[in-house]
A and B are shown apart, each in its own frame.
Chain A
Amino acid sequence: TPSFAAREKFGADLRHEEVKRELRTIKPSKEEFRWKMVMPWTEGLLFYDMAQHFADTVALASGGRLEIKLFPAGALVGAMESFDAVSKGSAEIGHDWPGYWKGKNEAFVAFASVPFGLDTEGYNIWLYERGGLKMMQELYGQYNLYALPGGNGGQEMGLFSNKKATKMTDFKGLRVRTPGWYMDIMNSLGASVTPLPGGEVYLALERGVIDAAEFSTPAMNYPMGFDEITKYVIEPGVHQPSVQCAFFINKEAWDKLPADLKWIVDTAAKETQLWSTAWQENLNIEAINRFKGKVEFVRMDDETITNFAKRTKEYLDELKAKYPDVKKVLDSQDKFRKDFAEWREIRSGVTPWPMDDYIAGKRTQ
């Protein structure tokens, strides 16, 4: 009979071998660097704080040897110009939601959020352990960029709306603002999507130019004040089960960094990824509390959600047929989801909070 000891070693950290090699040559560096960071966010958005958190961690961990100065959208380049600016080296690093670069390559959206796609846990596992990060670096690499996951804000809210849309027919003619793939999906389901820039959304919603708009997580949305000018929030936010951000670094700037600073940047990005979720989800508690008095949370009915899911699958299949890059990434995510599904199912049902609800028989999560 096989003994416990005879079993091969299971699941060792593969990085350890690389680190052992690296430790033979690595030295504390002396050289100092000052980087400029560009982004599509203005200072009022919590995404900006994510970028700042990363820059702070890098500065602290490197003892100030790598200082990253943040330039909000418009200060150095416009929001949508940050990608090119870093690609060309006008700034050394950028922070983004990769879906903004859809026009360069559709596959960027898959690293940002996919409707009915990966949640925060899913992105973490897929990126770090299932080859997602490698694919991400290949894609950004085509544009002279080195990329790292840059924070995940978690599940997004649904649409802030002045029309109570819960059934499929309610969405016919609904004037919506949403970016990315969900825009096409909504369009094909009869809604009319206006692609307004972020700064125009509030006024457009307030003035009735649009009926409904989504922006981001509860905490991110709170400062935008959408709750003051709409009556409903249509849940769930199937369009973005999580919002994954990225840091992208100009290749020459990255190559110039000594090994110890590279490891600091890498670790700081991971720390930002961890912290951002905890920080956002905790803020969401208070944000939801504040929303509750002002807007009514309504749920789309099951049939509608199923219809959205069906249309999403068709749409994603069309995309895969059209763009090989999209196919490669989505296939990898789908494979992971299939592989993970069994354990996800087996383990489920133990975390409905609070405890009293669980004892009373609630088994939803």
Chain B
Amino acid sequence: MRKFAQAIDALNENAGYYSAFLVLPLLCVVSYEVIMRYGFNAPTSWGFEATTFLYGVHFVLGLGYTHKHNGHVAIDVFEARLATRTRTLLRIAVNLIIFIPTMGLISIWSVIYAGTAWMQGELASSSWAPPLYPFKTLMAIGFVLLFLQGIAKLIHDFHHLNQPAFSGENPS
């Protein structure tokens, strides 16, 4: 179990690290579009959509990474006052009640949503008309990665609960 959790940690660490660089092509595509339009009076037919796709993929692949680094803003001042063991127990309970069902269901339906787009061969309703299914698939992957990170946190918390030298610190 511990191995599995570590594998997810590594997976999200990589997904986040690489998707972080997508802000650079995003910057380039938007700038290119501006330059083509004002410099050459020749706007692209794809710049507008390529921009939204890049932005979407950028953030969705980083959701799990951000969760791993406790980057999703939370009000944790009450929790911080608890003893470490109680805090870990609370974290496990909250994870099981709030996170797992919500993100589990959203992940499953994101996968179904992508599957439907594949079956319909859905294209964007624009002149460029790129296929939408690859992007719906990436969205599904992003939410699954976030869900997996929640599982990894759960495993880490259980592991620490059973450690003799219990520190209560989340390794991430």
Contacts and interface: CB of A to CB of B under 8 A. Distances in A.
B48 A195 contact: yes
Nearest to A192: B43
Interface in B108-135: 120, 122-129, 132
A100 B120 CA distance: 16
Contact of A187 (B120, B127, B132): B127
A80 B125 contact: yes
Contact of B125 (A101, A187, A194): A101
Nearest to B129: A103
Contacts of A101: 125
A179 B48 CA distance: 14
Contacts of B124: 103
Contact of B43 (A80, A183, A184, A194): A194
B37 A187 contact: no
A188 B132 CA distance: 24
B45 A187 contact: yes
B127 A184 contact: yes
Interface string A233-250: 000000000000000000
A187 B126 CA distance: 12
B128 to A, nearest CB: 8
Contacts of B123: 103
B163 interface: no
B42 interface: yes
A184 B128 CA distance: 9
A173 B126 CA distance: 19
A175 interface: yes
Nearest to B33: A194
Contacts of B48: 194-196
Interface string B17-56: 0000000000000000000010001110100110000000
Contacts of B42: 173, 192
Contacts, number: 43
Interface residues of A, number: 19
B129 A195 contact: no
B34 to A, nearest CB: 9
Nearest to A175: B43
B139 to A, nearest CB: 13
Contacts of A134: none
A183 B125 contact: no
Nearest to A181: B127
A175 B42 CA distance: 8
A193 interface: yes
Contacts of A195: 45, 48-49, 126-128
B123 to A, nearest CB: 4
A103 B45 contact: no
B105 to A, nearest CB: 14
A103 B122 CA distance: 6
A101 B37 CA distance: 28
Nearest to B34: A209
B109 to A, nearest CB: 10
A209 B129 CA distance: 22
Contacts of A193: 45, 127
- Which 4 A-B pairs rank lowest in CB-CB distance, beginning with the nearest? A103-B125, A102-B125, A103-B123, A195-B126
Interface of B: 37, 41-43, 45, 48-49, 120, 122-129, 132
14 contacts: A80-B125, A99-B125, A103-B132, A104-B122, A173-B41, A175-B43, A183-B127, A192-B42, A193-B45, A194-B43, A194-B48, A195-B49, A195-B126, A195-B127
Given A183-B126, A193-B127, A194-B48, 20 more contacts: A80-B125, A100-B125, A101-B125, A102-B125, A102-B129, A103-B124, A103-B125, A104-B120, A173-B41, A175-B37, A175-B41, A179-B125, A187-B127, A192-B42, A192-B43, A195-B45, A195-B126, A195-B127, A195-B128, A209-B37
